[in-house]
A = this chain, B = another copy of it.
């Protein structure tokens, strides 16, 4: 996948990468350019990837990457086309290398490049409120409106027939057509991902973006963080109520209906037609099937299979829960 927004400063020669990772050179590794760093699934044979947990064993077996940052315990899971680079801390080293490919993705300060939309090329094309700011590398389709005080920072693409409310902040986001984003939202900032280090945590870069597909509605006060190595995705015709928090790398399928104050932790993947009641929470790195219904207030801490209805904390079959809690 070519990154649509963050500039890839590669290629970087693999011999240079060994130095960056603090590894000795190895006669089996010959000088060659590496074009990108990506996850196990998306890497091509010109790329380097990383593998840090047995949870991803299946993906590792099928990776096309030529090199993989991994541990001694995991290295034998990799296919023969992929040379393991064994390190102590896979995620820290991956982070350090990602910063070399994408140095702009680690710092998330406000966008100084914005200008008032009234002074931009969009002044004729877009219906806009007072004090609307537009950054560089912003595309806006036809028949769109943007409310007062809203900031469209750099790296945003907005399709046709979209309406953005007031006081919202959007960056690093790809919005398709007929999307409504209401007031006070913050979309596309880096996720809550870092390495905890006493006295000074280490932030890693977030090179993913937020994708919001056709016909979605995003309520007021919603935060959607962009992905770290992959994207955060809101499926087609998915409606989010107010004050929802969607963490980095989450992928929500089409036609989801998610009520107020729901929180979805990092990297969880939801199928199609999922319904979630207010204030429910979903832990990180879970898989929620298609047509799943999660009752309001539930706490989901394990995968949920297709067509299930769950309730409670930890969430279980809704009939069982209600029977046990009469």
Q: Considering the chains assembled together, what is the distance between the CA atoms of A262 and B150 in angstroms?
A: 27
Mask of A202-237 contacts with B, CB within 8 angstroms, 1/0:
000000000000010101110101000000000011
Count of chain copies: 3
Q: Cβ of A131: which chain B residues have Cβ within 8 Å of it? A: 130-131, 149
Does A51 count as interface, using CB distance less than 8 angstroms? no
User: What chain B residues lie within 8 Å of A217 (beta carbons)?
Assistant: 201
* Cα separation A145 to B254 with both chains bound (whole Å): 39
Given A261-B263, A314-B325, residue A225 in contact with residue B200 (CB < 8 A): no
B260 touches A192 (CB 8 A): yes
0/1 string, A93-116, CB within 8 A of B gives 1: 000000000000000111010101
User: Which residues of B are found within 8 Å of A241, using beta-carbon distances?
Assistant: 192, 245, 247
What distance in Å separates the Cβ of A295 from its nearest Cβ neighbour in chain B?
A: 8
> Which chain B positions have C-beta within 8 A of A260?
192, 223, 245, 247, 263, 265
Task: Verify if A147 is at the interface (C-beta below 8 Å from B).
Answer: yes
Once A148-B114, A199-B254 are accepted as A-B contacts, the answer to whether A223 and B221 lie under 8 Å apart by CB is: yes
User: In the bound complex, what is the Cα–Cα distance between A178 and B199 (angstroms)?
Assistant: 11
CB of A154, distance to nearest CB on chain B (Å):
13
Q: In the complex, which residues 99-140 of chain A have their Cβ closer than 8 Å to any Cβ of chain B? A: 108-110, 112, 114, 116, 127, 129-131, 133
Tell me what chain A mostly uses at the interface: helix, strand, loop, or mixed.
loop
**Quick check: A148 and B127 within 8 Å, CB to CB?**
no
A133–B130 CB distance below 8 A: yes
Is A167 an interface residue when CB atoms closer than 8 A count as contact? yes
Roughly how many angstroms separate A247 CA and B279 CA in the complex, as a whole number? 13
The answer for the CA separation of A323 and B120 in the assembled complex, in Å, is: 60
Q: Complex Cα distance A148/B281, Å?
A: 32
Which residues A64-120 have CB closer than 8 A to chain B? 108-110, 112, 114, 116
Q: Are A183 and B194 in contact (CB under 8 A)?
A: no
Q: In the complex, which residues of chain B have a beta carbon less than 8 angstroms from the beta carbon of A130?
A: 114, 116, 131, 133
Complex interface bits, A173-211 against B, C-beta within 8 A gives 1, otherwise 0: 000001000111010010010101011110000000000
Interface residue ranges, A against B (CB under 8 Å): 108-110, 112, 114, 116, 127, 129-131, 133, 145-149, 151, 163, 165-167, 169, 178, 182-184, 186, 189, 192, 194, 196, 198-201, 215, 217, 219-221, 223, 225, 236-237, 239, 241-243, 245, 247, 254-255, 257, 259-261, 263, 265, 273, 277-279, 281, 283, 296-297, 299, 301, 312-314, 325
